[in-house]
Amino acid sequence: MRVLVVEDARSLAGVLAEGLSDQGMAVDVAYDGLEAAAKLDLNAYEVVVLDRDLPGIHGDTLCQMITDRDDRPMVIMLTAAGSPVDRVTGLTLGADDYLAKPFHFPELVLRVRSLARRRPSARPRTLRAAGIELDPARRTATRDGRHLDLSVKEFALLEALLHAAPAFLSTEDLLERVWDEHANPMTNTVTVTIGRLRRKLGDPPIITTTPGAGYRITPPPSPPPET
């Protein structure tokens, strides 16, 4: 899941970005409305965590701009003003959810995940392919009923591959979806993480690599019929 945090308070933006990244999300940060608008034009986000009181372009205006986009991300609006009137106003502007500051961080995580599931183009809650079952909300993954003990990035990588299955994802695709805009395109971090994930998935291998195309989930070959 790729998330854009739009927050002009840099310390809070850093805390939010780090916390959401620890939950396996790819997080970009914008510190004002103008920077956010530029990043929305460049990248595809599933959820935008939007502070209402922003310099450059006010959060209300930015929210309306997002609402007018095709295939728009879901928006959760953050604000220090938490009265019922403020919440109604924020939702009227097109926000999909509204959270008053200060808030409990685990609640924000749950709301972000809930919004991603509600997005019209969102996939089913449980992803299944090649004997893998992955539940993004519960953060669980199994192969043929066997629990998989995955790191945050391994889990996010497997989730991205399952979302795309049976299509390929290139290294650049995976860097964008699993890491963030600061990931070095020349790094071997995708190759290393794929290697660890393959070992944990076990045999027969189900992540295949095709030069020039990338990685994808492929069901293992059926056993030969008994004679």
Which domains occur in the chain, in start order? Answer: 2-118 (3.40.50.2300), 127-217 (1.10.10.10)
- Judged against a pLDDT cut of 70, whether residue 26 lies above it is answered with yes
Helix (H) or strand (E) holding 89: helix 84-92
Could you tell me if 2 and 24 are in contact, meaning their C-beta atoms sit under 8 angstroms apart? no
DSSP, res 174? H
- Judged against a pLDDT cut of 80, whether residue 118 lies above it is answered with yes
Could you tell me if 155 and 24 are in contact, meaning their C-beta atoms sit under 8 angstroms apart? yes
pTM: 0.66
Q: What is the per-residue pLDDT for 188?
A: 87
Composition of the chain by helix, strand, coil, percent to 5: 40, 20, 40
> Residue 89's pLDDT band (boundaries 50, 70, 90)?
low
Mean pLDDT for 48-66 is: 92
State the angle between helix axes of 105-118 and 10-22 in degrees (0 to 180), rounded to the nearest 10: 70
Q: Tokens standing for 52?
A: 């209402």
Could you tell me if 61 and 90 are in contact, meaning their C-beta atoms sit under 8 angstroms apart? no
Could you tell me if 28 and 175 are in contact, meaning their C-beta atoms sit under 8 angstroms apart? no
DSSP, res 72? P
Mean pLDDT for 202-208 is: 93
Could you tell me if 59 and 52 are in contact, meaning their C-beta atoms sit under 8 angstroms apart? yes
Could you tell me if 140 and 147 are in contact, meaning their C-beta atoms sit under 8 angstroms apart? yes
